[in-house]
Chain A
Amino acid sequence: MTTIARFRSFCCALAFLLSVASFCLPGADRAQAQDLSGPLGQIATDNYGNTEAALGELALSGSPAAAGIVSALADGNLVFSPSTRQVFIRNAAGALLDPVTLQPVADAPAVKPVRVNNRIRRAIEAANGALSLVSPDAAKRLDAAQAVGRSRDEAALPALETALAKETDPRVKTAMTLARASIVIAKEGITPAERIAAVELVGAEGNQDALAILRSVPDSAAPEVKQAAADAIAGIERNLAIWGAAQNVWYGVSLGSVLLLAAIGLAITFGVMGVINMAHGEMVMLGAYTTFVVQELIRTYNPALFDASLLIAIPVAFLFTGLIGVLIERTVIRFLYGRALETLLATWGISLIIQQAIRTAFGPTNREVGAPSWMSGTFDLGHLAITYGRLWIVIFAFLVFVALLGVLRLTRIGLEMRAVTQNRRMAASMGIRTNWVDAMTFGLGSGIAGIAGVALSQIDNVSPNLGQSYIIDSFLVVVFGGVGNLWGTLVGAMSLGIANKLLEPYAGAVLGKIALLVIVILFIQKRPRGLFALKGRAIES
């Protein structure tokens, strides 16, 4: 053995070690270079048919150098020497490189670029897809597998199978198996058993894509295959329908909790005092603006607290709107007891004044209320997409409901409120200061509207008209649910919310809303005092 040969074998070993150590160093491996000599030789003939065949081989070769060669071909940088039938890659500087080792070639012959036409370009694309199936990057392999699954290109099948055999990452493997099944389903010349296996594999996926794939089972397929596909389709459709309904119910619960927040304060004032508070929506609006102001102050003085801004805004809004409520009760409403319908007018007037005051102070345009980090983002529950903001609002609405229930059930003032609701005169005779109860009730109802505003500031535009958009819905919830019973409000809000969202897919948003209004109007005919009416003589009149 000569020194030179020894040196050479040493180089080989070193290069091999290097290539094992780092997969990313392409071209250093002489052993693989031999694998590519076939396709490279074909490319060097500069015949379209040969080039296309060579691309197919390159794609399946699994060689790290293949990707470089294919992209050089795509860019027109793959050249060949007509005389020596050698192929080179021309780099940006114009130097010729060995396509496998990427080393500069010492004595460059005269070269011509390898010709490319549209057929070759398509083959290049396919080869690129196949090559990313064996990319060292698992994320790229996953993407490629999904892309192949979506395209369902039969030509990609050999590459896919090669890649599948080598794949080790379980997630990528699943994706590849699915992609293979998607192709196999529509392929000619597949045994029924194999096709059924593919159908089952795809059917287990259970989403819209799987549905489309299953529908592509060819008519020529065996009857048992078609049966399996039909079963799988029916199963998926059932499944999707259930998830779709669940998604709508979730939207409905979300809307219902918003309605609950907006209406629950109204239910209290209406139930206890028989007062229709038209300014209730404006209390919600004031709550939202309180949130805005709190956030502005936090931004100015202590930006670190921003994530806590909503938690700070809740008590502030409760106290602020509660105080406004007590103020309204003391200055206007207490003079109007026994004249419920006129209270409606006075509070409507108050609502106009509050709206205009906010418009004057903050301008008529929407104000930006930020969402703290824990309110943003989405997570998947099965096939449901749930946003954290909505989830928190649902939770918050129920917390408020429970808290209010607790206040009414367990506290002294709650007891007095219930007494006044049931029979005002009797309660007064028993020594309850109904005036004071009224003021407290109005303050409580307004305060709850305020904290509803804090929540609504997260999902609605904070503008002077915010309250107007909720007032009619809130009234409907209250009359639907019935007066004097918080459970009625809960059931009313949830059923209106869910009914609205279930109607929407069939009737569209506006018609659904109209249908709901008509339903409520008709329902009131059947139960003129709402779902949970107080029974007894007190109600007549």
Chain B
Amino acid sequence: MSTLDTRPPALLGTSGQIFLAITLGVAVLVPALNLLLPPDSPFYIPTYVVSLLGKYLTYALLALSVDLIWGYVGILSLGHGAFFALGGYAMGMYLMRQIGTRGVYGDPVLPDFMVFLNWKELPWFWWGFDMFPYAALMVLFAPGVLALVFGWFAFRSRVTGVYLSIITQAMTFALLLAFFRNDMGFGGNNGLTDFKDILGFNIQSDGTRATLFALSALALAGGYVLCRFLVRSHFGKVLVAIRDAETRVRFTGYRAENYKLVAFVVSAMLAGIAGALYVPQVGIINPSEFSPANSIEIIVWVAVGGRGTLVGAALGAVLVNYAKTYFTSGLLAPYWLFMLGGLFVAVTLFLPKGIVGTFYEWREKRRPPPDEAAPPLAEPRPAE
């Protein structure tokens, strides 16, 4: 992981520039190819593909948020799907309120499932979700506050490593069980769906879909710049130090738990944004997003792309999900889990630095050695 530290301290390295260029490029290009070209043109991108690509981009943002804490702070969260889902639910609640009288039961205030459950009035936690700014705030707040509370307890008590991973998994599992309950007021196992429009625009229309795609791409680019900025700063250096030897950082006088907490909350909010962009493009949010298996899958995206590289996390998310779409829809569908499982094993065994990490390593080797070749630092290994 020391590759990053040796690179020039520009905000964006070469790969970062390429990444941003691609992200911003598709943000313009894909909507343009969808909206401006006639459907019979060979370059035309159908709307469903736009939404599919948009979904990949939100996954990429989610992977980015995981890489920030796993790659740079060493927190392996097995519950990051929970933050993603909370952001998604916040957006879903806004979209539900937008349905208004167009629901099956035509109730102007209550969403259909509440009418179905014979609820008389809106529960307090649904108040305000008819206003977009409030919902947008909640997209950040709901995951942020959960991460703050959870992280404050966990980091202060110095729960680390595998233990932290397990309790994050317990957290998302508890939320999964909770959101499955009808009494919770989040639609039970059906979740929230049947959305009609967002900010007054029809959610099914090509224009809205293309805009959502462009927003996802912009969010990904913005998220990348933010993460890059964070990890390059002094703050980021401390994070990496915590990752490699937390005890020593603490002995040096840093409040390691505060650094971890900030990174954790930022990461949770990024995941929340990703979830909020995911829901209108997919058209549904249900409790299965909280399932621990989902959260573990996110880890694989990051591992495939390259942990601690940011660009790699995004790349891994897109690649794995493209493969998933490709293989689960054809003749190979029954073998998808073999492939996914094999991917986990192969990446950890043969590509421990991921695609991008391995590429960096290869590039380092090709570079002419500097004059004062410092002896390579051994991988930090805390005393056992």
Chain A interface (Cβ < 8 Å from any Cβ of B): 270, 274, 276, 278, 332, 335-336, 338-346, 348-353, 355-357, 360, 423-425, 468, 472, 475-476, 479, 510-511, 513-514, 517-518, 520-522, 524-526, 528-530, 537-538, 540-541
Q: Which residues of B contact A540 (CB under 8 A)?
A: 247, 382-383
| Cα-based distance from A197 to B307 in the complex (angstroms) | 80
The answer, among B162, B167, B174, B384, for a CB contact under 8 Å with A276, is B162
Contact A526–B157 (Cβ < 8 Å): yes
Contact B76–A344 (Cβ < 8 Å): yes
Contact A352–B340 (Cβ < 8 Å): yes
B343 vs chain A, min Cβ distance (A): 7
B-side interface mostly: helix
Q: Which residues of B contact A522 (CB under 8 A)?
A: 153
Give A475's nearest chain B residue, CB to CB: B166
Contact B337–A356 (Cβ < 8 Å): yes
Q: Contacts A345-B300, A514-B177: A353 and B348 contacting too (C-beta < 8 A)?
A: no
User: Nearest 8 pairs between A and B by C-beta?
Assistant: A349-B344, A352-B341, A353-B341, A356-B337, A541-B382, A517-B174, A525-B157, A349-B341
Contact B159–A524 (Cβ < 8 Å): yes
Q: Which residues of A contact B17 (CB under 8 A)?
A: none
Please name 13 further chain A to chain B contacts, defined as beta carbons within 8 Å, in addition to the given A360-B334, A541-B383, sorted by A numbering: A276-B162, A338-B381, A344-B162, A344-B165, A349-B344, A349-B345, A350-B344, A356-B335, A472-B169, A476-B170, A510-B177, A514-B177, A528-B160
Contact A341–B349 (Cβ < 8 Å): no
Q: Which residues of A contact B255 (CB under 8 A)?
A: none
The answer, among A343, A356, A517, for a CB contact under 8 Å with B338, is A356
B368 vs chain A, min Cβ distance (A): 31
Give B347's nearest chain A residue, CB to CB: A345
Residue B115 at the chain A interface, CB threshold 8 Å: no
Question: CB-defined interface of B149-189 with A at 8 Å, one 1/0 digit per residue?
Answer: 01001101111111101110111011001101100000000
The answer, among A350, A352, A521, for a CB contact under 8 Å with B170, is A521
Q: Which residues of A contact B384 (CB under 8 A)?
A: 423-425, 538, 541
Q: Which residues of A contact B352 (CB under 8 A)?
A: 339, 342
Q: Which residues of A contact B343 (CB under 8 A)?
A: 349
Residue B203 at the chain A interface, CB threshold 8 Å: no
Contact A346–B337 (Cβ < 8 Å): no
Contact B163–A345 (Cβ < 8 Å): no
Contact B173–A517 (Cβ < 8 Å): yes
| Cα-based distance from A261 to B272 in the complex (angstroms) | 38
Q: Contacts A517-B170, A518-B174: A349 and B340 contacting too (C-beta < 8 A)?
A: yes
Residue B299 at the chain A interface, CB threshold 8 Å: yes
7 residue pairs bridging A and B, Cβ less than 8 Å apart? A278-B296, A348-B300, A350-B341, A357-B338, A525-B157, A541-B247, A541-B383
Q: Which residues of A contact B342 (CB under 8 A)?
A: 349, 353
Q: Which residues of B contact A425 (CB under 8 A)?
A: 384
> How many A-B Cβ pairs are below 8 Å?
141
Contact A346–B167 (Cβ < 8 Å): no
Residue B303 at the chain A interface, CB threshold 8 Å: yes
Chain B interface (Cβ < 8 Å from any Cβ of A): 76, 150, 153-154, 156-163, 165-167, 169-171, 173-174, 177-178, 180-181, 247, 292-293, 296, 299-300, 303, 334-335, 337-338, 340-345, 347-349, 352, 381-384
Contact A525–B349 (Cβ < 8 Å): no
Contact A332–B349 (Cβ < 8 Å): yes
Please indicate which of the listed interface residues B76, B159, B341 has the most CB atoms of chain A within 10 Å of its own CB: B341
| Cα-based distance from A335 to B351 in the complex (angstroms) | 12
Contact B299–A345 (Cβ < 8 Å): yes
B333 vs chain A, min Cβ distance (A): 11
Q: Which residues of A contact B181 (CB under 8 A)?
A: 510-511
Give A332's nearest chain B residue, CB to CB: B345
Please indicate which of the listed interface residues B76, B334, B384 has the most CB atoms of chain A within 10 Å of its own CB: B384
Q: Contacts A356-B341, A522-B153: A479 and B163 contacting too (C-beta < 8 A)?
A: yes
Q: Which residues of B contact A538 (CB under 8 A)?
A: 384
Please indicate which of the listed interface residues A349, A476, A513, A526 has the most CB atoms of chain B within 10 Å of its own CB: A349
Q: Which residues of B contact A348 (CB under 8 A)?
A: 296, 300, 341, 344
B6 vs chain A, min Cβ distance (A): 22
| Cα-based distance from A102 to B157 in the complex (angstroms) | 90
Q: Contacts A335-B349, A336-B348, A522-B153: A351 and B341 contacting too (C-beta < 8 A)?
A: yes
Q: Contacts A479-B163, A529-B163: A342 and B348 contacting too (C-beta < 8 A)?
A: yes
Q: Contacts A348-B296, A526-B157, A528-B157: A510 and B303 contacting too (C-beta < 8 A)?
A: no
Q: Contacts A336-B348, A342-B303, A424-B384: A520 and B161 contacting too (C-beta < 8 A)?
A: no
A439 vs chain B, min Cβ distance (A): 17
Contact B167–A479 (Cβ < 8 Å): yes
Contact A353–B338 (Cβ < 8 Å): yes
A536 vs chain B, min Cβ distance (A): 11
Contact A475–B169 (Cβ < 8 Å): yes
Give A540's nearest chain B residue, CB to CB: B247
Contact A528–B163 (Cβ < 8 Å): yes
B106 vs chain A, min Cβ distance (A): 31
| Cα-based distance from A339 to B166 in the complex (angstroms) | 16
Contact A528–B76 (Cβ < 8 Å): no
Q: Contacts A335-B349, A476-B166: A353 and B154 contacting too (C-beta < 8 A)?
A: no
The answer, among B178, B247, B344, for a CB contact under 8 Å with A346, is B344
Q: Which residues of B contact A472 (CB under 8 A)?
A: 169-170, 173, 292
Q: Which residues of A contact B161 (CB under 8 A)?
A: 340-341
| Cα-based distance from A125 to B293 in the complex (angstroms) | 63
Give B300's nearest chain A residue, CB to CB: A345
Give A344's nearest chain B residue, CB to CB: B165
Q: Which residues of A contact B303 (CB under 8 A)?
A: 342, 345
Q: Which residues of B contact A530 (CB under 8 A)?
A: 163
Q: Which residues of B contact A276 (CB under 8 A)?
A: 162, 165-166
| Cα-based distance from A510 to B179 in the complex (angstroms) | 10
B187 vs chain A, min Cβ distance (A): 16
Give B168's nearest chain A residue, CB to CB: A521
Contact B345–A346 (Cβ < 8 Å): yes
B49 vs chain A, min Cβ distance (A): 28
Give A472's nearest chain B residue, CB to CB: B173
A342 vs chain B, min Cβ distance (A): 5
Please indicate which of the listed interface residues B167, B296, B335 has the most CB atoms of chain A within 10 Å of its own CB: B167
B334 vs chain A, min Cβ distance (A): 7
Q: Which residues of B contact A521 (CB under 8 A)?
A: 150, 153, 167, 170-171, 174
Please indicate which of the listed interface residues A352, A360, A510, A537 has the most CB atoms of chain B within 10 Å of its own CB: A352
Give B159's nearest chain A residue, CB to CB: A528
A46 vs chain B, min Cβ distance (A): 58
Contact A341–B76 (Cβ < 8 Å): yes
Q: Contacts A344-B76, A476-B170: A352 and B160 contacting too (C-beta < 8 A)?
A: no
Q: Which residues of A contact B300 (CB under 8 A)?
A: 345, 348-349
| Cα-based distance from A475 to B296 in the complex (angstroms) | 15
| Cα-based distance from A416 to B258 in the complex (angstroms) | 40
Contact B159–A525 (Cβ < 8 Å): yes
Contact A513–B177 (Cβ < 8 Å): yes
Give B173's nearest chain A residue, CB to CB: A472
Give A537's nearest chain B residue, CB to CB: B383
Give B334's nearest chain A residue, CB to CB: A360
| Cα-based distance from A510 to B292 in the complex (angstroms) | 17
Contact A345–B383 (Cβ < 8 Å): no
Q: Which residues of B contact A423 (CB under 8 A)?
A: 384
A486 vs chain B, min Cβ distance (A): 18
| Cα-based distance from A344 to B181 in the complex (angstroms) | 30
| Cα-based distance from A271 to B334 in the complex (angstroms) | 36
Give A342's nearest chain B residue, CB to CB: B348
